[in-house]
A and B are shown apart, each in its own frame.
Chain A
Amino acid sequence: AQTVTQSQPEMSVQEAETVTLSCTYDTSESDYYLFWYKQPPSRQMILVIRQEAYKQQNATENRFSVNFQKAAKSFSLKISDSQLGDAAMYFCAYQLTAGNMLTFGGGTRLMVKP
């Protein structure tokens, strides 16, 4: 079975600074997707960024980028120019390409200091 581990229960960052959230996963598959989801206090699950395992290029979405290390099974999220609205729970998730089920990590609570 696949597992996803987020080793940082909480992180804090100063507004306008950069922060990196860590995620590692365990799988024997070669074809899969990885995701970062944001969950603000409203509870809504918001897709931040997605990476396809067969692509070597790291995904980028505006201020959000990932560092995908397939051999090391590592998938970190970098948030640049942090904003107060970035404060939320962040979940790393894994999905087999052939299926739809997501396996989530335990989450990292990000606090942004003004």
Chain B
Amino acid sequence: NAGVTQTPKFQVLKTGQSMTLQCAQDMNHEYMSWYRQDPGMGLRLIHYSVGAGITDQGEVPNGYNVSRSTTEDFPLRLLSAAPSQTSVYFCASSYRTRQANEKLFFGSGTQLSVL
């Protein structure tokens, strides 16, 4: 199984540019989410989705858009990149129901630099 696949692994943008971070999972997980990781602050939730067609905001949603047209994909869009969005971005997914062995699966992260 591929698990959670994020692309690209690295990206450099100029201020004001737009881009989409891709996330795909092949485990039929209902729940998908995006986190950003800044030094000394751990991971913070940007947006999440509990199923196709359903999205909601997390702790730090400003400057980001998401959509969930399929169960497999959950792209994160930066419409006008700002230096404050320089960070490492993680996509994560899991089953929505609580099971004894359920866990959150993480992608390998995207290092984004905005100049």
Residue numbers of A with Cβ under 8 A of B are 4, 6, 9, 42-45, 47, 50, 91, 97-98, 100-107
Contacts and interface: CB of A to CB of B under 8 A. Distances in A.
B108 A106 contact: no
Given A9-B40, A50-B103, A105-B42, A44 B48 contact: no
A100 B48 CA distance: 9
Interface SS of B by simple majority: strand
A97 B108 CA distance: 25
Interface SS of A by simple majority: loop
A40 B31 CA distance: 25
B33 A104 contact: no
A100 B41 contact: no
Given A45-B90, A100-B94, A103-B45, 9 more contacts: A43-B111, A44-B108, A97-B98, A100-B33, A101-B45, A101-B48, A102-B104, A104-B42, A107-B40
A58 to B, nearest CB: 17
Interface residues of B, number: 24
Interface of B: 31, 33, 35, 40-45, 48, 50, 58, 88, 90, 92, 94, 96, 98, 103-104, 106, 108-109, 111
Nearest to A31: B98
A28 to B, nearest CB: 18
A99 to B, nearest CB: 9
24 contacts: A4-B42, A9-B40, A42-B108, A43-B109, A45-B90, A45-B92, A47-B104, A91-B43, A100-B31, A100-B33, A100-B48, A100-B94, A100-B104, A102-B35, A102-B43, A102-B104, A104-B35, A104-B43, A104-B44, A105-B42, A106-B40, A106-B41, A107-B40, A107-B42
Contacts of A103: 45
Given A43-B88, A43-B108, A47-B103, A100 B96 contact: yes
Nearest to B110: A43
Nearest to A97: B98
Contacts of A43: 88, 108-109, 111
A28 B52 CA distance: 31
B40 A44 contact: no
